[in-house]
Amino acid sequence: EPEVTQTPSHQVTQMGQEVILRCVPISNHLYFYWYRQILGQKVEFLVSFYNNEISEKSEIFDDQFSVERPDGSNFTLKIRSTKLEDSAMYFCASRWREGTGELFFGEGSRLTVL
Amino acid sequence: AQRVTQPEKLLSVFKGAPVELKCNYSYSGSPELFWYVQYSRQRLQLLLRHISRESIKGFTADLNKGETSFHLKKPFAQEEDSAMYYCALIRGSQGNLIFGKGTKLSVKP
């Protein structure tokens, strides 16, 4: 069964460093998402991406964040200058069609900012 | 404001006991609601959605618009049901999910 894959599974970085989290969505999916979950808190929407552009973003997704689909398979989340409060689990998800199509999630990338 | 509330952080029951995981929502319009489950060290996965009115792994959930609730129920809990359960609703045409804080279900032998 096809799956969303994410790398790395865990990354430790120093405050102020740039981080890139990578995701490979399911191949025929058209809609892509990033969510994050700070330890002990709920899963929060960051950004959705469709047709090679951001379709919606939350207030969390400020200028420090960017997303890219550099080729036909990868979907990346970049944090330019990490802060302590960026420490969280980041989940990538994809969907093949709009509306009520199911979101398929990756296993997550744990980011620890020291 | 669109919001999903799961009032219980932890629910602990014995095997064979009934389970009800509560979910209330706030949404203007007709909501589409889901339950996602996350087993230990696994990814979030869809358990069920209200529009399909199906039963998955013995779980059911009925949308009650009057009470703005979408509680998840199972008559006889099994140990393998132990997991984190997230109630979520879809917002907007892009299908963005808004999650509740999650309830950890622990089923004891």
Q: What is the distance in angstroms between the Cα of B24 and the nearest Cα belonging to chain A?
A: 15
> pLDDT grade, residue A98 (50/70/90)?
low
The structure tokens 């069609």 sit at A97
| Contact yes or no for A42 and B102 at CB 8 A | yes
Q: Assess B109–A contact: CB distance below 8 Å, yes or no.
A: no
**Extended beta strands in A27-87, E state:** 31-37, 43-50, 53-57, 65-68, 75-79
Residues of B in contact with A105 (CB under 8 A): 36, 43-45
d(CA A26, CA A105): 10
pLDDT digit string, tens, across residues A45-93: 999 999 899 999 999 999 999 999 988 789 999 999 999 999 999 999 9
Q: Is the pLDDT score of A26 beyond 80? A: yes
